[in-house]
Amino acid sequence: MASTTASTSENVAFPGAISGSVFTEKMTFLSDYPTIATYRVMDSEGAVLVPGSEPQISKDQSLKMYKTMVSLNQMDLILYDAQRQGRISFYMTHHGEEATLLGTAAALKNDDVFFGQYREAGFMMYRGFSIQQCMHQCYGNENDLGKGRQMPIHYGSKEFNIQTISSPLGPQIPQAAGAAYALKRSGKDACVICFFGDGAASEGDFHAGLNIAATTESPVIFFCRNNGYAISTPSHEQYRGDGIASRGHGYGMHTIRVDGNDVLAVYNATQEARRIAVEEHKPVLIEALTYRVGHHSTSDDSSAYRPKAEVSDWMKKDSPINRFRKYLETKGWWSEEEEQALRKACRTEILGAFSAAEKVKKPAVSNLFTDVYDEMPWNLVEQKEKLDKLMKKYPTHFDLAAHAPEKK
């Protein structure tokens, strides 16, 4: 790394300079920087590398984390096939990224506010968002908390402090900064966690959000899940710097890079990040390096931009689920018999929830006009009346049998 040698000890007094900046008479353009290391606890075989570095997680909590990972994996398999059969319109799997979700969820508290991107169902499931609710949302039926107004996988829950997912890329980042500032002003012992991908880190909202959080010293954890691809754009075509973690220094932010396939490393990093955010009132940037095994979504065919052998190799050499399973087996907390029983039970539960959601009617048509205003304004009242007349006049064109009746 190139260095600047100061011939005097005179400090730079300009208001834009940070404390400790000094003058130099040597002109040097910095171009080489030390590469940020990637923190891990386990190797790819689930063995703890440094004795005592593993988090103090109970057997019950560890098994809850693992069972949620497996349940998420099974739900992905079923809903991906369901979309291919035309039974739901869209889906995104989490294959290969499960550790980033369960490591964070287990390290946080339920009072901590969640802002997601779109690949975080495992986090929500750990908090208590049920598989049945996932199914209702993906079908957009009458029991969907969002009343069928969002496309599939755009979950949300007031009960579990889960802000509803939005389709545009990146708006949750400045929103999370604002929510964290509100938490700071309230004096509440809580923080915000905000998930996004390496692609979203190329959006302007990323820079605005991090700078807002840094200058307001707000308790927020920015969690970047760097899976190597922004849909079809590989990371080497997105940036030339040292990933996403290197940007944290530019915003004066505590930063760490972790092995995103190591659930224990993610847990440790998130736990400490929460302490910094809540106790020191400072934002934290975590970059989790991982690999997206599945397609970006059901609208994507990743074989068009990466070889299938690359994907299969990753599945064989470093599955976060298999790594955590080996860790549990080493501790004597898990067995092959329990594994088979779990997978069978998960599949039965998911298929049952899927079947139940499929039979529920769509939301009432009147939901087109509600929940924007406390009292419906005159123009929406007129529009609703016109639609009601049209549906009554042309019943064959407006089949309401699939919709729930309007609630009076």
Task: Quick: pLDDT tens for 2-36.
Answer: 455 545 578 998 988 888 899 999 999 988 889 99
Which amino acid is residue 251, in one-letter code? Answer: Y
DSSP 152: T
The whole-number average pLDDT for the span 101-125 is: 97
Q: What CA–CA distance (Å, rounded) separates 124 from 113? A: 11
Cα–Cα distances (Å) from 381 to 190, 366, 368, 376, 384, in that order, read 41, 11, 11, 6, 5
- The three-state secondary structure class of 392 is helix
* pLDDT recorded at residue 116: 97
* Length in residues, the chain: 408
Q: In this structure, what token pair is assigned to residue 49? A: 């590398």
Confidence of residue 1 (pLDDT cuts 50, 70, 90): very low
* pLDDT recorded at residue 8: 56
| Cα dihedral: 90, 64, 99, 343 (round 10) | -60
The whole-number average pLDDT for the span 130-147 is: 97
> Are 238 and 268 within 8 A, CB to CB?
no
Return the closest-CA partner of residue 243 out of 201, 187, 210, 276: 201
> Are 141 and 154 within 8 A, CB to CB?
no
Average pLDDT for the chain: 95
Alpha helices in 119-258 (DSSP H): 121-127, 131-139, 172-186, 204-216, 246-250
* pLDDT recorded at residue 5: 52
- The three-state secondary structure class of 28 is coil
33 is catalytic: no
* pLDDT above 50 for 142: yes
The whole-number average pLDDT for the span 127-151 is: 97
> Are 112 and 192 within 8 A, CB to CB?
yes
* pLDDT above 90 for 390: yes
325 is catalytic: no
Q: Which helix (H) or strand (E) holds 284?
A: strand 284-289
Q: What CA–CA distance (Å, rounded) separates 285 from 254? A: 6
* pLDDT recorded at residue 6: 46
The whole-number average pLDDT for the span 177-204 is: 97
Q: What CA–CA distance (Å, rounded) separates 178 from 219? A: 10
Which amino acid is residue 270, in one-letter code? Answer: T
- The pTM score is 0.94
Catalytic residue among 292, 295, 323, 325: 292
Q: Does 331 or 3 have the greater pLDDT score?
A: 331
Q: What CA–CA distance (Å, rounded) separates 239 from 384? A: 49
The whole-number average pLDDT for the span 220-225 is: 98
Q: In this structure, what token pair is assigned to residue 247? A: 């940007």
Sheet holding 113-115, edge to edge: 113-115, 192-197, 220-226, 284-289, 254-259
> Are 264 and 326 within 8 A, CB to CB?
no
**First-last CA distance in the chain:** 70
* pLDDT recorded at residue 89: 96
Residue 258 φ/ψ, nearest 5 degrees:
-130, 160
Q: What is the pLDDT of residues 296-317, one digit of tens each?
A: 999 999 999 999 999 998 888 8
Catalytic residue among 40, 127, 154, 296: 296
Range scoring the smallest mean pLDDT among 23-37, 118-132, 287-301, 357-371: 23-37
Confidence of residue 202 (pLDDT cuts 50, 70, 90): very high
Confidence of residue 371 (pLDDT cuts 50, 70, 90): very high
* pLDDT recorded at residue 247: 96
Q: What is the pLDDT of residues 66-96, one digit of tens each?
A: 999 999 999 999 999 999 999 999 999 999 9
Which amino acid is residue 252, in one-letter code? Answer: G
The whole-number average pLDDT for the span 167-188 is: 96
Q: What is the pLDDT of residues 31-67, one digit of tens each?
A: 888 999 999 999 999 999 999 999 999 999 999 999 9
Which residues does residue 220 pair with via DSSP β-bridges, in sequence order? 192
* pLDDT above 80 for 127: yes
